[in-house]
A and B are shown apart, each in its own frame.
Chain A
Amino acid sequence: MRVKFTVNGREQQADDVWEGESLLYVLRERMGLPGSKNACEQGECGSCTVRLDGVPVCSCLVAAGQVEGREVVTVEGLADYAEQRAQHGGCATGACGSAGTSVDAAQRWQAKPAGADGQVRLSPVQQAFIDAGAVQCGFCTPGLLVAADELLERNAQPSDADIREALSGNLCRCTGYEKILDAVRLAAARGDAQTTGTGA
């Protein structure tokens, strides 16, 4: 079947999608967006977390057909999403006329600091993860970034309990939780004043 939906602010379409296929599979294997990670495939680990109509969900548990006509934000679009949110006072869905992140650009996205051209943009929470040393093997990082960004969107000054609760569905097997909590605290402390970083 064909599924049309918005990914990172731009309308996309996937063809020959199997009816039992997950949103995660469509993103990774059909759109070439491997940022959302595939680990447990049963909603236990949170490494496939994306925003579906703004709500954080495990993309491995959303049937592809269920996203027809809906809006998905992946970690590849997070920097743009955060920038739009800062500029438009909360509207970061693309519905308010933002250009979004093209699949091409998202596929080229690399997790490295900007070069001389300064082209690689990071969301505040991504920058904070780098600055706090919250990334070890990195596999859990995309899901944590999406979850942490959503937390800070709805609660700019979260308590430690709020952070733990918001990230309770994301597992890190490097046991790096302390640095991850540090990163979220850092992003919260910096606030939305600093909207977009440019790499370490």
Chain B
Amino acid sequence: MDFLRPGSWEEALAAKAEHPTAVPIAGGTDVMVEINFDHRRPEYLLDLNRVDDLREWEVGEETVRLGASVPYTQIMENLRAELPGLALASHTVASPQIRNRGGVGGNLGTASPAGDAHPALLASGGEVEAESVRGRRMIPIDAFYLGVKRNALEPDELIRAVHLPKADGPQQFSKVGTRNAMVIAVCAFGLALHPRTRTVRTGIGSAAPTPVRAKAAEEFLTAALEEGGFWESGRPIPPSVAKQFAELATGACNPIDDVRGSAKYRRHAVGIMARRTLGWTWESYRGNERSDRCA
């Protein structure tokens, strides 16, 4: 094994171009487990800890550019207003020790369907900034997950950042596990209301081979909110609409039975989380609407 220690992003890209099999390591919370258990013996480890700008974020007019290695702890503490769904999801990642090291770039690189960031990223929408010595490209998050632990990166590419729209409405994240900390999701659900475009987006974790959106549920709810004039009126969502939304979310799952839970349980739980997160976000939207009117 060789340990590559690029001191800059350009050096990192050059190293990855020269050694496309090199495994990038940042927080190490996935990679080191595989090495410790002898599940993986990469020829090259490419340490990204020395590339400082991977740990930086910029809040722009419309979007947040979040460096790939910004630890979850920093997201929780600094980006709760701009990226509320991702901040909530970050808070459910493992433990303080892991959140101090791990970041979104690692979740994307590993592309496990159980990665906690994925439902929030899918619900928010956004792009992954991937780069190689050949150039830079922006991969829409919807096109990033290709299969179980497979993503859209080319062998010579590294993830530099994710670009996420600043929240324009309430976002929620819900996760099922046996306890609060140190838990891999049995399944998870992210929901974002986008009042500006009068749309909703969702993300489902751990209930299909890849993180997925519940597109039929999104389309149904977007249409129901529009037709009923709910965005303007801020009226409560009828239980029948919430129920239908939950059923369509369940329908978007394609889960397996495993040690953490059965496929049947996962489908059921995703429906429940869809209904609950809809209730939470809509109540928050209505609350904000009311206070806006008062102001």
Contacts and interface: CB of A to CB of B under 8 A. Distances in A.
Interface of A: 1, 18-20, 22, 41-44, 46, 49, 55-58, 60-63, 65-66, 68, 147, 165-166, 168-171
A110 to B, nearest CB: 26
B37 A43 contact: no
B45 A168 contact: no
B45 A169 contact: no
Contacts of A44: 182
A61 B71 CA distance: 14
A46 B2 CA distance: 28
A63 B97 contact: no
A19 B36 contact: no
A168 B5 contact: no
A46 B47 contact: no
Contact of B96 (A41, A60, A63, A168): A168
A83 to B, nearest CB: 24
A62 B49 CA distance: 11
A168 B181 contact: yes
A19 B1 contact: yes
Q: Closest 9 interchain pairs by CB?
A: A169-B95, A168-B181, A19-B1, A19-B3, A41-B36, A65-B3, A61-B32, A42-B33, A169-B97
B41 interface: yes
14 contacts: A18-B1, A20-B42, A41-B33, A43-B94, A46-B97, A56-B100, A57-B97, A58-B101, A62-B28, A63-B35, A168-B96, A168-B181, A169-B97, A169-B98
Contact of B101 (A46, A57, A165): A57
Nearest to A59: B97
A17 to B, nearest CB: 9
B180 A168 contact: yes
Contact of A43 (B33, B41, B42, B45): B33
Contact of B98 (A1, A19, A58, A165): A58
Given A63-B32, A169-B95, 4 more contacts: A43-B32, A56-B100, A58-B29, A168-B95
Contact of A41 (B37, B95, B180, B181): B37
Contacts of B181: 168-169
B25 A66 contact: yes
A68 B41 contact: no
Interface of B: 1-3, 5, 25, 27-29, 31-33, 35-37, 41-42, 45, 47, 49, 94-98, 100-101, 180-182
B96 A169 contact: yes
B13 to A, nearest CB: 19
A187 B210 CA distance: 46
Contacts of B32: 22, 43, 60-63
Q: Name the residue in B29, B94, B101 with the highest tally of chain A Cβ atoms < 10 Å from its Cβ.
A: B101
B90 to A, nearest CB: 13
A5 to B, nearest CB: 12
B47 A66 contact: yes
Nearest to B49: A66
A42 B101 contact: no
B100 to A, nearest CB: 5
B51 to A, nearest CB: 12
A167 B118 CA distance: 26
Contacts of A61: 27-29, 32-33, 98, 101
A43 B95 CA distance: 9
A74 to B, nearest CB: 14
Nearest to A20: B35
Contacts of B95: 43, 46, 168-170
Given A43-B29, A63-B45, A57 B100 contact: yes
Given A1-B3, A19-B1, A66-B47, A169 B28 contact: no
Contacts of A1: 3
Contacts of A19: 1-3, 45
B54 to A, nearest CB: 13
Contacts of B29: 43, 58, 61
B37 A65 contact: no
Contacts of A58: 29, 97-98, 101
Given A65-B5, A65-B47, A20 B41 contact: yes
A22 B181 CA distance: 24
Q: Name the residue in A46, A49, A61 with the highest tally of chain B Cβ atoms < 10 Å from its Cβ.
A: A61
A170 B181 CA distance: 10
A68 B47 CA distance: 11
A62 B101 contact: yes
